[in-house]
Amino acid sequence: MNKHIKSGIATMFFIPLWYYKTTPALNIHSEGLWFFAISVAMFYGTIEMFGISKEQGRRPKERSLRVISTGSSKDNQSMTLIKYMFKSIGFRVALGIFASMFILSFFAEGEIFHSKKYSELITVTEADVSEIPSAEGTSSIALMDTKSATKLGDREIGALSNVVSQYDVAGYTQIDFQGCPIKTAPLKYADFFKWLKNKDTGIPGYVTVDPVNMDAEYVALDEGMKYVPSACFSQNLKRHVRFTYPTTIFSNGHFEIDEEGTPWYVYSVYEQQFGLFDGKQVTGCILVNPFNGETQKLSLDEIPTWVDVVFKGDLICKQYNYYAQLNGGYWNSKFGQVGCKKITESSDSDSVSDYGYVAKDGDIWIYTGVTSVNSDSSNIGFILSNERTEETLFIPCTGADEFSAMAAAEGEVQEKGYVASFPSLILVDNNPTYIMVLKDNAGLVKMYAAVNVEQYNLVATATTQEDCIANYKALLNGTLSVEEANTENTASTAIPETKPISKDLSDAPTKQITIIKIETIVESGNTYIYIVDENNKIYKALYVDVIDMLLVNVGDTITIKTDGEYFVIE
């Protein structure tokens, strides 16, 4: 049989299998489709290359062995392989597709040719500091970073033995739920075999984390979610949506809940504004019912208000950088850089990369600082951007950037070794202010810090958010010094710290228990650990008195001494 016919037959079997695996959009503006075509051509070329080598009496591997045994150089061996490749139609087609993609994308969307179009992808309106949320609305500000939310969520799931053995917690989404900011994440199948075992019942629930009250809740569903990202074959969420909308370009698939707590999956829909790949803009979304797989494709003006994330924060920041740097033309962005700005970035790859989130008017707004392109440690303003509509405000305000503020807050508690989370932005007595949480090495929230944007040496800390803001206000009006605003025992506005109670349990009876739940709670500046045994009996202890509990997990059996309320590890 002719080598081209053999290669063609093999490729015809390969194409549907590879498409089922990769599911690119059947759209010329989809990068996935181009790479799909390249991979198909390379597969054809590989089969064809072996056919060519067989016609010449030996396979490439056999020829390589002969070349080595006769002392020929590796360069000759490589040249032989390249020779076979260029004889293959498939490899030549793959090279042609790649070259075409590169040339077309360069001329069709290169910044040098289309700087004005890039700068118009986002509309930015200038506003004043009154748009910054006030200190009175701090219940609408999410201060918890994703790492802390993950820790709380994992602990909540860890207490549910029937859930933790089959499922993990997927990625978190910041949403507005009934006027309050929360982070939510669905469960996901732990692996293929867990999906195989549970595919008929589906995913049983999701987790919500309140970043204001610092607590987590597992929400069990009456019916399992079957169309999810961690499912396989026809139940895989992306594959299901792709087969429903084969030509639509979509991404940013994530989990949300509506105001009744009903779960949905949301995909952002993109359409090309110019160019081949980069000139895309969000034009709507796809809503997926995870219970039965029903989908709705909506334009931007049809999206219900409970949907919070249509324009992802990364996209907003990327488009703002285009706007701020290409507004004066491409060459100005490279040389003169007159009026060029960019969002603040950390040079430390280990730094927290979360945005600041604010729940405002039923939507989630992200905020981030704006600095000059010279990358100093100061901001020239902030942007607030609505993740549902991409309404974007630029607020001029000079001062320290977020990472300098985090360092200033950490400096006030350096003896404790606490680490600051990415801050949010509030307005206190008409002063733009960073507010953030300070965490210990275990990731537990220990304190709050407020840092003045314009004078980042003005820092106040406290063990509660209310006390922190009160100390900060007193610092601004001069009734407290910086030292007093960061000394809990002497600050006039701080709630007096209760002395920790260490119980003498040396004569207490001993018992063996199996732990089904572990929680930590900060009370009057002291961290207590609460445990629940298999009989739903609750015990507590000062964390410093039972530090070995760091080595204990839900499901472990331990021996304790207890008076019925307090405990110590035996």
Give CA angle at 139 (133, 142), nearest 5°. Answer: 80
E runs forming strands in 489-544? 510-523, 526-533, 538-542
Q: Look at the block and give the residue holding tokens 């020829």.
A: 63
Q: In 3D, which of 321, 306, 324 has the Cα closest to residue 387?
A: 306
Q: In 3D, which of 148, 34, 46 has the Cα closest to residue 92?
A: 46
Q: Give one DSSP letter per residue of 110-153, joined into a string.
A: -HHHHHHHHHTSS-EEE--GGGSPBGGGGGGEE---HHHHHHHH
Q: Look at the block and give the residue holding tokens 């049983």.
A: 204
Which residue type is seen at 529? I
CA 96 from centroid of its chain's CA atoms: 37
> By the 8 A CB rule, do 282 and 315 touch?
yes
DSSP state, residue 289: -
3-state DSSP of 54-94? HHCCCCHHHHHHHHHHCCCCHHHHHHHHHHHHHHCHHHHHH
For 175, 307, 396, the CA distances from 362, given in Å and listed in that order, are 9, 10, 25
Which residue type is seen at 383? I
Q: How far apart are CA 374 and CA 377, in angstroms?
A: 9
The b-or-e profile of 366-404 (16+ CB within 10 A means b, else e) is bbbbbbeeeeeebbbbbbbbbbbbbbbbbbebebbbbbb
Q: What is the pLDDT along the chain (570 residues), one digit of tens a residue?
A: 566 788 889 999 999 999 999 999 999 999 999 999 999 999 998 888 776 555 555 555 444 444 444 445 555 555 555 666 666 777 888 888 888 888 887 777 788 888 999 999 999 999 999 898 888 766 667 777 777 888 888 888 877 877 888 899 999 999 999 888 899 999 999 999 999 999 999 999 999 998 877 789 999 999 999 999 999 999 999 999 999 999 999 999 999 999 999 999 999 999 999 988 888 999 999 999 999 999 999 999 999 999 999 999 999 999 999 999 999 999 999 998 898 999 987 654 444 345 788 888 889 999 999 998 876 678 999 999 999 999 999 999 999 999 999 999 999 999 999 999 889 899 999 999 999 999 988 778 889 999 999 999 999 999 888 889 999 999 998 888 888 788 764 444 444 444 565 778 888 899 999 999 888 776 655 678 889 899 889 899 888 888 888 788 888 999 999 988 899 998
> By the 8 A CB rule, do 248 and 27 touch?
yes
Q: How far apart are CA 567 and CA 560, in angstroms?
A: 6
